[in-house]
Amino acid sequence: MNPFLVKTPSLVKRLNPSWVWSFPQETNAVYLTFDDGPIPEVTPWVLDILNEYNIKATFFCIGENVKKHPELFRRIIAEGHSVGNHTNQHLNGWVTNTETYISDVEAASEILKQNNSNRESTPSLLFRPPYGKLKPVQSKKIKQKGYSIVMWDVLSFDWDQSISPEKCLENVQLNLEPGSIVVFHDSLKAEKNLRYTLPETLEFIIENNWNGLAIS
């Protein structure tokens, strides 16, 4: 059974109140996020459709993917989106010792900084743990480095190949509200569901007169 729920319960948020789970509803904005990229098979399409709808998003990038595809990372920034650290090798914090985990986060940070031509002296200080799994000691050390740990309140489950694209869209539309942080993935595993769900989600945002903003 998948341990995650589509909508993050209030109790879970209260267990880690220093993590960012959502934003005030008064902002009248939603915050789309994309994990695991950038990759040439999916990320350019995501950027194209976000541009079409004039919606900004936040990309939590794997350091190794940025190193392989620096031009895509630079395009994300050039088009006004935010970027965040998603570790260098997509590590699961629960099964990784803390020293190794923090070193991997630092390695990703250096790669992101080296390839951020617009803000070379200001590396991204947004962090999302792969799988949402992070030990308390890892969280403490990451926050000591100045990072905001960004989680979510809506999971699309786009990576779950056992669900249909229609179910993926339903996960988003039934739970999306002003202030929501939504998780998508610009990855091969998520591609089938994402290509159906993302355009419909952007239409849904426009129809509700919400703003689609990047996390800063």
Q: Which residues, at least 6 apart from 45, have a Cβ–Cβ distance to it below 8 Å?
A: 195
What residue has token string 């088009």? Answer: 79
Model pLDDT, residue 118: 62
| Closest C-alpha among 191, 189, 154, 186 to residue 171 | 154
Strand partners, 60: 35, 84
CATH of domain 28-212: 3.20.20.370
> Measured between alpha carbons, how far is 174 from 5 in angstroms, rounded to an integer?
13
Is beta strand 82-85 parallel, antiparallel or unpaired with respect to 58-61? parallel
Whether 86 is a known active-site residue: answer no
- Domain boundaries along the sequence of the chain: 28-212
| Rounded average pLDDT over 30-52 | 98
Residue 124's alpha-carbon distances to 59, 65, 83, 138, 174, in angstroms, are: 11, 16, 6, 18, 31
- How sure is the predictor about 50, in pLDDT bands with cuts at 50, 70 and 90? very high
Of these residues, 81, 86, 90, 185, which one is catalytic? 185
Whether 35 is a known active-site residue: answer yes
| Rounded average pLDDT over 38-62 | 98
pLDDT surpasses 90 at 151: yes
Which tokens go with 79? Answer: 């088009």
pLDDT surpasses 50 at 155: yes
Q: Which residue has the higher pLDDT, 117 or 112?
A: 112
